[in-house]
Structure 1
Amino acid sequence: MPDTIDPCGDGTGAGPDDPEPSPPVHYAEQALLGALLLEPHRLGTLGSLGAAQFGDPAHAALFAAMGALAPPEAAVHASEPVWLSSVLDHARRDARGLTAAYLHALVQACPDPRHTAAYTQMIRADHARRTLRTHAGSLAQTATVPVQPDPASAVLAQADTLARYLDDLTGQFAPHPGSLPRTPAPPDPPRNTGSDVLDEERLLLATATAHPGEMARMRWLLPVDFALPVHAALFHCLTALAHRGEPIDPVTVLWEAQHRGLLRDTAPAHILNLLATPAGSVEHWGGKVLQRALLHQARTTANLIRSYADDPANSVHQLVTGSRRALADLTAVRARWQHQHHAPQPPNQRQTPRTTAAARAGPLRTTAPSSPARTSR
């Protein structure tokens, strides 16, 4: 634990055994605690600052001890170190390594006790950064390890918690010019391309080709939702044909794929084989594709917000602005997911058993469709 602002005297703020230099908030915490040790009456001017907002556990213990003890009379405090001794004894219950020498070092580390408001705002800002990163980590974890049986709802609930925290931060920190983070965006997390994922996408494409009329109810699904680019391109072919009102079957889809350049990397026979195994309901498979797209976007959003929070150059206002923009991308997918789940179905569709769509699609093959991961001309 450093005893002064710069124990090495070289401007790094790190001692000879310290692996990393201390962050600026460490010195803000030292300065605030030093000011309070010098002038305890300033404790009543700090507003809602709490011990949990300190990044250093020993500093948190000291601040909690100050709050638990009655401030001394100014005259008594100026002549006797009774209050300092009481604070030290109380803080040692949670931070046994604290010493009287460190309290004196804190007093020396305070440039000006009149600047307690500024030190307090620095501590709040760093706490906001750490808390935002924690919320983003929870969102990423929930999307990576889906909560069954309704992973989409769990992810959206976590996103709502993050959004509420951003709302809480608004107004606590003043806006300023240059409000967007300049942190480079991290690469998107890899898509899930497991065999079950690809099989469901292939079943969706084949079933939509066999029953194109059902696609009119699936405006909530977009090509970008697919994990495999060739599947996204084929779905784009299907939606283009449906939009133009042209006939849809495996051959017409293949012709459309040729015009869109898809056959440069994919053999025609492979596409025909991919579209030859319809089964089940188009909306059922589409819902699975959309749910995975929602989870993927949640991971992407969480990674972006964490990268903002990890960049100390970003102010809290920049963190709020950038995080809200990142959440907007998740909100766009969320709107389509909600449309799929809450849009009323036609009366005849509500009365049709789920097995009817599968029966219309024809018998289900006993072997899985061939994977498009490796193709040949």
Structure 2
Amino acid sequence: MTPLVQAEQAVLGSVFLDPGQLDRLSPWLRPGHFSRPAHAAIYAAMLKLRADSHPAAKVHGGAPVPMSWLTDTVSEASKHTRGLTASYAHALVSACPRPEHAVVYGRMVLEGAIHRGVAQHATRLHQAARADAIRGGAEETVHHAEVLSEVLADLARRWGTKPQPVAPPSPATPTPAHPQPVDEQLLADEEFLLGCLSARPQKLDEVVGWLHPGDFAEAGHQQIYRSLGALHHRGEPIDQLTVLWETQRRGALADRTLDAERVLRICDPSAFAGSAEYFGEQVVQASLVRTAAASARQVRTLADDESLAPGRLIGYALHALGPLEEVRRRWRIATGAEPKPPRAGHQQDSTPPAARIDAARSRSRPHRAAAPPVMAPTTASPPPARDRHHRRSPS
């Protein structure tokens, strides 16, 4: 028998012995917080009898508890679950060490419910993300992500803490990665998007605010998008050769993330003609689903750690959902559900400012030798000489 089951038995036994303990438990402990259906049914029956003004509900201060409290509770609970007997209720009474410690036992039950509830909803989020990855959607993922966030906020209130993200300490050993299989169609969409942006660099202004390099599933595609963004930011020309040169400068060719032939093929302007916004939206949507699956795995791992106190578990779980919320915000901008934020220094003309272009090109110009500095005179300068042809008039 686990400590959690023992805590559930103890809190029920304490209420059998002292029905007045319900006044301290009912504001925050719910039947759904019990892991065993029989225990949940017994606690729900106790709350119902108390609401119906059972005679035992008026017992306080160590007065004797009527026997009907136990028998009526078992009778009411038996309507919702099978196998309950009066002998099991007596066993619950025997399992209670100290009736006055009912609140402590109840918090043990709530702590177990927090771990269990977080794990269940994280599992549902992960399953929704896997299903959306197959069918090419994101609605179920977004729904279950919202439910998990609401559950964490509710559990935080019941535990008596604020629902705020808290970064967990760095683990001694890194968590092993779980690579997700990437759909070939998604990789094709990413290549098509990069080709569209290479052929029409002005489209970068329309996607750069919500499409990030990390949204690409393939590392090589991330490097090409970074190169396109860097060239566009510096106001330099964009074509196959300039993108290839930029990827080389970033080390993507040296570490074999890319090769020259692949970069030239992806950036071939004659092979692509399509909507960069549409394919960018598809890339962000796929990134949302992947991020949701990764966040759900992290939350489930946290929930399985029984050594984590509920406050820390909730804070760490909210922190793990942070990247998902960030991608979700950008996805809403991409789909038009949320307005695009204004960009600092954005001009109506898509052409980069002349000052930025000149600064970028100046890095390739030969610099003139600097003129020697002019030393300041150490003595006062003599007055200017008079014109030698100017003679003083005779007096």
Partners of 2:7 and 2:109 within 8 A in 1 = yes
Q: Deviations over 1:293-346 (max 9, x none)?
A: 11111111111111111111112211221122112211221232233233469x
The match for 1:217 is 206
1:325 aligns with 2:319: yes
The match for 2:189 is 200
Distance across 2 between alignment mates of 1:161 and 1:252: 46
Displacement of 1:80 in angstroms is: 6.5
Distance across 2 between alignment mates of 1:312 and 1:213: 53
Deviates more, 1:209-218 or 1:32-41: 32-41
The aligned amino acid for 2:326 is A
Which of 138, 155, 160 lines up with 1:169 in the alignment?
Answer: 155
Displacement of 1:174 in angstroms is: 4.0
Q: Structure 2: state its 5+ residue gaps.
A: 343-347, 349-395
Q: Structure 1: state its 5+ residue gaps.
A: 1-12, 14-21, 349-377
Q: How many residues align?
A: 325
Partners of 1:181 and 1:322 within 8 A in 2 = yes
Distance across 1 between alignment mates of 2:47 and 2:246: 72
Displacement of 1:100 in angstroms is: 3.4
Distance across 2 between alignment mates of 1:296 and 1:247: 33
Partners of 2:299 and 2:317 within 8 A in 1 = yes
- SS at 1:145's partner residue? helix
CA RMSD across the alignment: 3.2
Which of 99, 117, 133 lines up with 1:131 in the alignment?
Answer: 117
Q: Deviations over 1:190-243 (max 9, x none)?
A: 344221011111111111111111111212111111111111111111111111
Partners of 1:198 and 1:228 within 8 A in 2 = yes
TM-score by length of 2: 0.73
1:301 aligns with 2:281: no
Partners of 1:191 and 1:227 within 8 A in 2 = no
Distance across 1 between alignment mates of 2:169 and 2:144: 26
Which of 261, 280, 291 lines up with 1:286 in the alignment?
Answer: 280
Partners of 1:203 and 1:278 within 8 A in 2 = yes
1:58 aligns with 2:43: no
Which of 87, 90, 94 lines up with 1:108 in the alignment?
Answer: 94
TM-score by length of 1: 0.76
Structure exhibiting the larger radius of gyration computed from Cα positions: 2
Aligned runs of 1:182-261 on 2, under 5 Å? 186-219=175-208, 220-261=210-251
Distance 1:117 1:187, change over 3 A: same
Q: Deviations over 1:76-133 (max 9, x none)?
A: x948744323333333344433343332222121111001111122212222222222
Deviates more, 1:231-240 or 1:264-273: 264-273
The aligned amino acid for 2:302 is Y
Distance 1:191 1:244, change over 3 A: farther
The aligned amino acid for 2:34 is F
Deviates more, 1:99-108 or 1:24-33: 99-108
Partners of 2:291 and 2:323 within 8 A in 1 = yes
The match for 1:40 is 19
Distance across 1 between alignment mates of 2:317 and 2:122: 9
The match for 1:369 is none
Partners of 2:240 and 2:267 within 8 A in 1 = yes
1:140 aligns with 2:119: no
Partners of 1:128 and 1:316 within 8 A in 2 = yes
The match for 2:9 is 30
